[in-house]
Chain A
Amino acid sequence: MGHHDDHGHHHEHDGYQAPPEAIALRVKALESLLVEKGLVDPAAVDAVVDTYEHKVGPRNGARVVAKAWVDPEYRARLLDDATSAIAELGFSGVQGEDMVVLENTPEVHNVTVCTLCSCYPWPTLGLPPAWYKAAPYRSRVVIDPRGVLAEFGLDVPRDKEIRVWDSTAELRYMVLPERPAGSEGMSEEALAELVTRDSMIGTGVPKQPGKA
């Protein structure tokens, strides 16, 4: 088991709990039953895991953002029909079938959530982090977005609109953050390195050029 917390001190307040061994055994029993019944091929399970552990992740989304920063025509296509524009870079599929890209501007800061479950744009951002799926974020970001963003280190001026997108349907949202000042002349590849996962959720902003 990769993550054990014997003290359990953050269990009470974050909704995240390291699983007891019983859960691992239950999963093993279920999979072996399904394999024996001929319903599941464990090699197919391996292939799915490999995809999301090693091939799909927020570096995909960062490439989309960087391209939009350097290519105005791509940016226009991305904002008009995100699913097609993202597919141009080879990213598509499960939990990204119908994408919408939200453009941050000097007037609007976008942030995404799924209050009812944990919907998230897998092809561009990978699987969601635990906090995105847990009760504190899902409950609070709609009623207290400024408080939540402050916990992430973002202070949004009160005259700027925070626009929270609750993905209650099958649209999957990704934020196009503002290109950081001082990034003029940087290559698309170098720009992609500035794009963080949280900047595409809306709980962060891109890294500043020249900083780690």
Chain B
Amino acid sequence: MNGIHDLGGAQGYGPVYVEPNEPVFHGDWERRVLGMFPALFATGQFHVDEFRHAIERMSPLEYLRGTYYEHWLHAFETLLVEKGLVTADELERGQPASAKAASPALTPAMVDGLLASGASARMDEEKAARFAVGDRVRVINRNPGGHTRMPRYARGKVGTIALDHGAFVYPDTVAHGKGAHPQHVYSVSFTATELWGKDAAPNDTVRIDLWDDYLEAV
């Protein structure tokens, strides 16, 4: 979706503010939100692209006002209700409507192993790569209302396949429960002048990771 999250190339957000001696967490609530992330993912009930899409669906005002971990909190609340793990009423009241029904998917003994292994999105390809390193490609002009990882600033632009990363889960379908449909992801190199016009530095480039379906031959 053409959401507020799709920030590449936007102007007016001001200088980068680097907080001196920034701590890992700014408060205990940030710790709890970070820690709940693997605990909830271990339930196997939601995919990382569903999580991202829950953030993308935030109101633009809330998104810009909120910090990173507030985005996560919003996504937890949204997905827990949508998946039926908690009801909106329970969330509202902070009390469970019924007695304990589940046992936690993530136990302390599992944490080290889970964090050290992660969950790669790499999969065997469902369809062969249509492009090879060196090919010229154009990012298609498409504006899906759902989840996509095709940033607006790349659409319609012409670049060159720089790397073929292999096949990965396709976010546009998996975020909507429509299957993994793994396909090749390429690092596509765009000149800064192609993306931003003739005032851009002539030697600069931007490399964007794009799925096979986002591209067409030039």
Contacts and interface: CB of A to CB of B under 8 A. Distances in A.
Interface of A: 1-3, 10, 12-19, 23-24, 26-34, 36-41, 43-49, 51-53, 57, 92-98, 100, 113, 115-118, 126-127, 129-131, 133-140, 142-143, 145-146, 148, 151-152, 158-171
A205 B185 CA distance: 29
Interface of B: 5-11, 13-19, 22-29, 31-40, 43, 52, 55, 64-68, 70, 73, 76-77, 80, 85-86, 90-91, 94-96, 100-108, 110-112, 114-122, 149-151, 153, 163, 165, 168-169, 185, 187, 192, 195-196, 201, 203-211
Nearest to B94: A29
B18 A115 contact: no
Contacts, number: 308
A163 B43 CA distance: 39
Contacts of B22: 129-130
B8 A98 contact: no
Nearest to A127: B24
B158 to A, nearest CB: 16
A150 to B, nearest CB: 10
Contact of B165 (A16, A31, A169): A169
15 contacts: A17-B67, A24-B27, A41-B107, A49-B32, A97-B119, A97-B121, A98-B122, A131-B17, A133-B68, A135-B10, A136-B17, A161-B205, A162-B204, A169-B165, A171-B187
A49 B106 CA distance: 14
Given A14-B14, A135-B64, A24 B28 contact: yes
A44 B86 contact: no
Contacts of A1: 26-28
A41 B73 contact: no
Contact of A116 (B6, B106, B122, B211): B6
Residue from B77, B115, B150 having most chain A Cβ neighbours under 10 A = B115
A13 B91 contact: no
Nearest to B186: A169
B5 A116 contact: yes
A20 B194 CA distance: 43
B102 A37 contact: yes
B137 to A, nearest CB: 15
A198 to B, nearest CB: 9
The 7 closest A-B pairs by CB, nearest first: A14-B17, A45-B35, A115-B8, A13-B14, A169-B209, A41-B104, A97-B120
Contacts of B101: 37-38
B108 A43 contact: yes
Contacts of A14: 14-17
A143 B185 contact: no
A41 B39 contact: yes
